[in-house]
Structure 1
Amino acid sequence: MTTRPVAPHLDDIDRTLLHLLQEDADRSHTVLAASVGLSAAGVHKRLKNLRQNGYVKKVTALLDRSKLGLDLMCFLKATFRSNLQPENLADLQRCIRELPEILECYTVTGTSDAILKVAVSDHVALRDFLRRLSASQQAIERVETCIVLEEFKEGTELPLGFVAGPV
């Protein structure tokens, strides 16, 4: 049985800093310091600790898909030939690295074995992507494509308000 390593506790200031970073990671340490009542050096030290302890995996920019011409968002429900066999997972992981249109991928319970989030420019690009996906791997037996018609919520912010007390 695998156990998770015990991480240091988060206090209210750490949770506030994580929340502020999720809203806008571009804020300076000085601005963050004013928001939490610490010095810029104190914020720097806390952020360094949060990164070292794995609470912040990476800081990145969120780009506007439509401005970049990636107007078609899809979710693909994939079914493997032999369920979740290790060779299928290795094949899927290799495939994901080779196809940049795949934004996210998860193995799941239920009638599908994996769900992939894919962004392409249009239906022709989707068709070409599906052909490349099929040709690039042997693990997936069937794919059901769900095209997003409307987005009601898109985000990456975790609900830190539900992280009660020391974590």
Structure 2
Amino acid sequence: MAILKIARMGHPVLIKPALPVQDPTAPEIRRLVADMAETMEDAQGLGLAAPQVHVGLRLFVWRGGAGNILALINPELEAVGEETEEAWEGCLSIPGLRGCVPRAARIRFRGFDIDGKRVEGEAAGLAARVMQHEADHLDGVLYPMRMPDLALLGFTEELSRAATQARDAATQGDAR
């Protein structure tokens, strides 16, 4: 296995739609998935799409329940219902920044695993958010492109400092 170089915002591979994987069971796909899992772990990410490691194919890995890493090849996602949630996201291809992004609260997904078996299910919460974020990479979409309010985009340390100051001010207000 190997740690792969992560493409950063501005690299053309991140804004091009990825191509379908022809054979999910091919040894090179299995190797790519293993390398992506190791790269994601090394970078302390929650998910990683193939275009982020300079490979224009429709697959991503993400950290599933119990900490195990799962792969979804040629994924198809669709919203279940109309409910959306806004939450803060970061991205290994956009280091140091975070933004508040609306996403479907619940999704249905299908695709293939590395054994070529059909995988399908539903996800909500963080899993649904991560899967949508990674699937966007396969379509050449970065999370800031989904943000309706760019005032909610900032450097991680500045956002953390502002949150701490707001919490401290609220605590001082409660003490009075």
State whether TM-score is above 0.5. Answer: no
TM-score range, shorter chain: under 0.3
Larger radius of gyration: 1
Higher relative contact order (CA 8 A, sep 6+): 1
TM-score (norm 1): 0.21
More strand per residue = 2
